Each structure stands twice: as structure tokens, then as C-alpha cells.
Structure 1
């Protein structure tokens, strides 16, 4: 049996899979608070002891680059090493994946029920597929057809230089350069980026800040959920929060289109991460697709690319798929 895990800074999802049931039907699963454990091995031991299942292999996805089977997690003081874990847990093999690479591996397993389609498009058979995922940070990955299956590749494209498309975005760029010295897309299109946009609109004087929202933001460590909720308020949406989220959607659409061009994603673009499912009303509007297709001479071509929002926990499915495929040939 295979143990698969989606390791996050706040929580870690572990599950056991079998070759017979495949990557969509876990035999057992549980969620653990990551920060309460000194390392991944302690958490896994507890889970295996609890399930009492004969696990021989494991595959984990982590936030950050995986180099030589080793990763240092961004939001946890853990260093995860595949060979060391295998020895420590007495497993035959452990594989590590970047979390966006794992999400990408899940894409061929997704069904229409797992997706919200923003642009039906005209998918090309065996065309490359792009995945862009705004969550805490901004992850990007892509898949290419190898002749028998899709192979997923990780990237750190979310840290590439932000390219503004109008005068207001140029001013946002200046604001971010002054604040950080470098302005990558993650500074805008992510959970850590949304407060930057809010601060830009507030500090520029374009929109007055609501005292109620200001008080709520001052008493929390994570301002993003408050900004998102205030923007989507069906009765009285906050104008400053609405402006911030509209800018978020525009820049996300532009960068999703950039990624589609870079990998020629004629097989489709998939929006993963925790934020898109929560802001579907904003993504369904014209703003996202207008920014996505605003590519000059390539606008008509890119308008034919399908765009979907992933509604399920795809990273764990992808880690399970990757591990099961390699386990079957080991």
C-alpha cells in the first residue's frame, strides 16, 4: 500500500491508497495540524499506528522546490529528505513532489464534477496543459504528453517579474518596488498578495478605508479572508475591498494567459489553489477572461484555450497517482 501526503504549513493531509482502488479512493485518511509535530516522520508514525495498514511506499507533495529528493519547507521548520524518511520509517521507497507538480499530476484524473469551466474553448488532443494556483503563494506547473501519458513539471514561475498592463498597474508596480525591492506575481496573485493590493488602493487615496474593515484588519494576522469576504458581501460590498479583488482577478487572468503562451497550453489552463473556488463570482465575470485573452496578435488563438477552476483537493490525488504508478513498476 501507498501512503500519500499533502504537506501544508497549517495542516497536512495523509491518506493510504491501494493499487486496486486507485488515487481517487483512499483506504484511510486523516488531517493533522502540521505545527504540532517536530517533523514529518513523527506524524507519519502516528498515522500508520492509528490505521494499522501495511504501508510499504510513500509519496509526499511539499510547498517549495524539490532538488535531489530533498526539500526545505517554506512555512514549516522541516527538512524533508526522501531517502532518510524511507530509512527512518522502514519503507521500501519514498518520493517527493513539489505541490504544484502534484496538482498537475491530478489533472488527468479530474472529472467534470471537480471543475468549474470559465472558458469551454477548443482543447487540442494531447496539447500541453498549464496549472496556476493562487493560495498562500502562487504556484505554477505544466504537463506535456509523452506519447503514452502526461508528465508534470514544476516551476517557480509565480516569482517572475510582474508586468503591468495599464496606468494603475504601473503605479502598483512602483508601490511594490518601493515596499519590497522586487515585484513578482506572487506579491499580487496570492493570499500574501491581496493585502498588498488593498494597501496600494488605500494609501493612494483612491478609495477611503471603512473604519469597520480597518478595525477588523488590525486585529488579525491574516487579512486576506476579511478583504475577500468584504468584497463578496451580497448586501454591502466594501468599495476598497472590491477594487482590490478586481485588480487581483485582472492580474491573475493576465498571468494565467502568460503561462498559457509560455507552454502553449492548447490542452487547457487549470486554476488550482485555495483562492479560486472562493471567488467564483468574480472569476465568472468578464474581467478574468478579458485579461487572459489580452495578448495582442495572439488574442484570438488564446481565446480558444479552455480554462477551468479546480474545485477539489487535487494535490493529494496527484501525489497518490504519482506514487501508485511508480509503486506498480518498482
Structure 2
């Protein structure tokens, strides 16, 4: 690839089930500077090519030299078959339409790559979560980095440093078993298991739609009284329900309890994943839900209290020495896609 191509703007995309985010970034120092971005409604588009062409047509003199597109799912022959959108990401077709090199990566490869370039001292980019004892462990240089993000689904990715450089990997970790730690979580497990061919996975509860399922479970099983405001939430679309639950968490008992269970389950999922990955380089909570609900994670150190509560002492020690950060930079996936060009 020529120097002109590498130094020209890069087109990046973060393709989600709800939103399609596009941006142009320009290399600057060790990172990238955002030139322009736009958001489209995924379900309203007929393909990925059409919104990209409209986006680029706004400034025809600002042409990208390459593109890196991120979406949920495995990449096969430069393509991702999306399960949450009415079309797929087809890298070879887009190369023909745009006339530039196109790389397609899993969305959690992009997010994982982006975490390496967060300024951990800037609370607008990342917030360290204090452990129950108040400690804030430092990430080990070169240590494995684990990224867990709840949004439309539950994604998991990780980074390792090897002699050949940094490598980012996706995983299907969001589909590990739904944790059970008390009577409510056991009842929720049983509730979600009804009609399934196997045990419920974590994503069924630790995601935007999952928060709505937790709320419905609490109301339908009458574990918490349903107020008129709570009843109105049940009439909302699955897409808008999580924000409504979060907004009423301080005043509505069912919403408040749903958020508590959600954070507890998120913490237990992360604790189980940390036992498998041993992320001495840090655990990063990505995705929109955590970033929009920082107070619920920090209040009474709820997330960390559940994260550190394991059945063996050595697992407690592992949890207490794991650096944990909540990623707050909403452009993380876009910058990460730009960095993913060279790390995966």
C-alpha cells in the first residue's frame, strides 16, 4: 500500500442492529483525528453501499484511501453475514463500488483495538472502577486486555501482545451461561429457559433487550409492584425500553430492581470471563449501556462488589487485582476500526 493511501483519510463504519455509524478519520501522530461522522438507521437502509455513497457525497473532495468496516459476526472471505440487519457487509463488493481497499473486521476486534488508544487519565474517555477496598490496580504492560460490551447484544473481544505485534481477537463469550447467584437470578434463569432447547446464555439478560426482559420478569412474576409508569414501559418498543427503565430507576421500584440485577449479572459475567482470560492488561466495559449508566455501576460500588464475590479465595484475589475501566468514548468503535486495520 502506498504512503499516499496510508496517509489519506480512512473511512470507518460501525454497523449495529439499530445504528450505522460512519466516519472519516485522518492519521495524526500515533492515532487518528476525526474529520466527519454521521449516523444512519440500519433497518431503514437497503444496503451498506448506499449510505456510504451518500456520506461521501457530502464532501466529494475529501476522499478516503482505504476503508475498515466493523460489524457483529464472524468474517468469512471478507464478508460478515449480519443477523441483526436486513443486509450483509460485503468487502469485495464495496471495494468495487468505492475503488479503494476495504477491510472487514468483527466489531469487537475494532473495540478491542480502540481500548489501547484510550487516555486512561481522561474521564471523558475511560473511568477506572475502584475496587471494594478503594484500590485502583494499574494495567500490566503487554498484559492481555479483555473487552466486554453490552449493547444490542453482548460482545467479548481480547488483545494479546506477541513478538510480531498486537493481535485482536473476537469471541463468542457473550453466549456463556447466564450466571446464577441468588433466588432472583435463579428464578430469572428458569424464566428465560422456558421454551429454549438449551440453557439460557448471558446475552439474554446482559444486553439492551436483556434489561427489558429482566424488567418484564420482575413485573410478570410480581416480585416488584408495577406502577402505572412501569406498565407504560411494557408498551414501548424493545429498542426504547432500556432507556426508559434507566431513566426511572431512582423512582420506580421495578425499574430500580431491574437495573440492580442487570449490573449484578454484568459483573458476574465479567468475573467468569476474567477467570478464563486472566486480563492483567485490564478489563474494559464497552458498549452504550455501561457508558450511559455510569452511576448505576459506581453506586455503592455495586459492580465491583458483585465482581469480587467468588466461591474461591484465589478467584477473589484475581478479581481484586484486575484493573477495570468503563469506556466512555462514544467514538471508540470508530477509532478502533481505524486502528484495527493494522492489528488484526
Q: CA deviation at 1:125?
A: 2.1
Q: Against the structure 1 CA distance between its residues 29 and 131, is the aligned structure 2 distance closer, same or farther, given a 3 Å change threshold? A: same
For the 8 Å contact 1:28–1:51, the answer to whether it is kept is no
Aligned-CA RMSD value: 1.9
Match of 1:59 in 2: 68
1:245 counterpart = 2:253 = no
For residue 275 of structure 1, the aligned residue among 284, 289, 296 is 289
Q: CA deviation at 1:23?
A: 4.2
Distance 2:258 2:84 in 1: 25
For the 8 Å contact 2:157–2:170, the answer to whether it is kept is yes
For residue 73 of structure 1, the aligned residue among 70, 77, 82 is 82
Distance 1:23 1:39 in 2: 30
Find the residue that maps to 2:200 and give its secondary structure.
coil
Find the residue that maps to 2:58 and give its secondary structure.
helix
The range that moved more, 289-298 or 30-39, is 30-39
Find the residue that maps to 2:248 and give its secondary structure.
helix
The range that moved more, 176-185 or 270-279, is 176-185
For residue 23 of structure 2, the aligned residue among 12, 15, 22 is 15
5 Å matches for 1:102-113? 102-111=110-119, 112-113=121-122
TM-score scaled by structure 2? 0.87
Find the residue that maps to 2:288 and give its secondary structure.
coil
1:195 counterpart = 2:212 = yes
Tell me the alpha carbon deviations over residues 189-229 of structure 1, each in whole angstroms, 9 at most, x when there is no partner. Answer: 11010121112222222211112220243144432111111
Q: Against the structure 1 CA distance between its residues 37 and 253, is the aligned structure 2 distance closer, same or farther, given a 3 Å change threshold? A: same
For the 8 Å contact 2:179–2:268, the answer to whether it is kept is no
For residue 127 of structure 2, the aligned residue among 94, 116, 121 is 116
1:287 counterpart = 2:302 = yes
Distance 2:90 2:246 in 1: 37
1:299 counterpart = 2:316 = yes
Q: CA deviation at 1:18?
A: 2.9
Q: Against the structure 1 CA distance between its residues 300 and 58, is the aligned structure 2 distance closer, same or farther, given a 3 Å change threshold? A: same
Match of 1:254 in 2: 268
5 Å matches for 1:20-99? 20=28, 23-52=31-60, 53-91=62-100, 93-99=101-107
**Gap runs ≥5 in structure 1:** none
For the 8 Å contact 1:207–1:239, the answer to whether it is kept is yes
Q: CA deviation at 1:17?
A: 2.5
For residue 138 of structure 1, the aligned residue among 138, 141, 154 is 154
Q: CA deviation at 1:55?
A: 2.1
For the 8 Å contact 2:229–2:252, the answer to whether it is kept is no
For the 8 Å contact 2:150–2:287, the answer to whether it is kept is yes
Distance 1:95 1:34 in 2: 20
Distance 1:165 1:205 in 2: 20
The range that moved more, 297-306 or 186-195, is 297-306
Find the residue that maps to 1:193 and give its secondary structure.
helix
Distance 1:47 1:287 in 2: 42
TM-score scaled by structure 1? 0.91
Tell me the alpha carbon deviations over residues 8-27 of structure 1, each in whole angstroms, 9 at most, x when there is no partner. Answer: 23322222223346643123
For the 8 Å contact 2:233–2:245, the answer to whether it is kept is no
Distance 1:218 1:308 in 2: 34
Distance 1:188 1:216 in 2: 17
- Superposition misfits of 4+ residues, deviation over 6 angstroms: none
